[in-house]
């Protein structure tokens, strides 16, 4: 299951874990990603709070967590090659979290709703 926030982050849920990244729409808006600032393993994310930033040649944008949880893994490949986000944003997640409250997913959009949200801007 994948859910999206209005700030263009996604969370892909697998069991008790969520993989958080930016949507394909967001990476296209940013352009060439040059840096991803990520939290540390063990950090607690709060839904709606900043957990890092993503920078491109055009702009920098805060990363807003769509869910609450503990960071259990970061995508270390992005430290070496942040442009992986541009190649496939949905596959190149930024952090993996142990979800704190599954009901938070109810506030997020499904794929169809998110696509409509992006079109209607």
Contact 20, 97 (CB under 8 A): yes
pLDDT 10s digits, 6-49: 999 999 999 999 999 999 999 999 999 999 999 999 999 999 99
pLDDT in tens, 49-82: 999 999 999 999 999 999 999 999 999 999 999 9
DSSP state of 57: S
Which domains are delineated in the chain?
Answer: 2-120 (2.40.50.100)
Cα–Cα distances in Å, from 1 out to 19, 20, 111?
Answer: 11, 12, 9
Record the pTM: 0.97
- Average pLDDT of span 103-116: 98
Given pLDDT bands bounded at 50, 70 and 90, which one contains residue 104? Answer: very high
Phi then psi for residue 42, to 5 deg, are 100, -15
Residues 74-98 have a mean pLDDT of 97
């Amino acid at each position: 299951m994948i859910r999206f926030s209005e700030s263009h982050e996604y969370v892909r849920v697998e069991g008790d874990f969520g993989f958080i990244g930016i949507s394909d729409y967001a990476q296209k808006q940013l352009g060439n990603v040059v840096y991803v600032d990520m939290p540390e393993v063990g950090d607690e994310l709060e839904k709606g709070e900043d957990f890092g930033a993503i920078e491109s040649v055009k702009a920098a944008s805060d990363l807003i967590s769509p869910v609450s949880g503990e960071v259990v893994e970061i995508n270390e490949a992005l430290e070496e090659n942040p442009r992986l986000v541009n190649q496939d944003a949905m596959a190149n997640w930024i952090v993996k979290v142990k979800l704190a409250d599954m009901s938070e997913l109810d506030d997020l959009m499904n794929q169809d709703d998110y696509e409509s949200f992006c079109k209607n801007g």
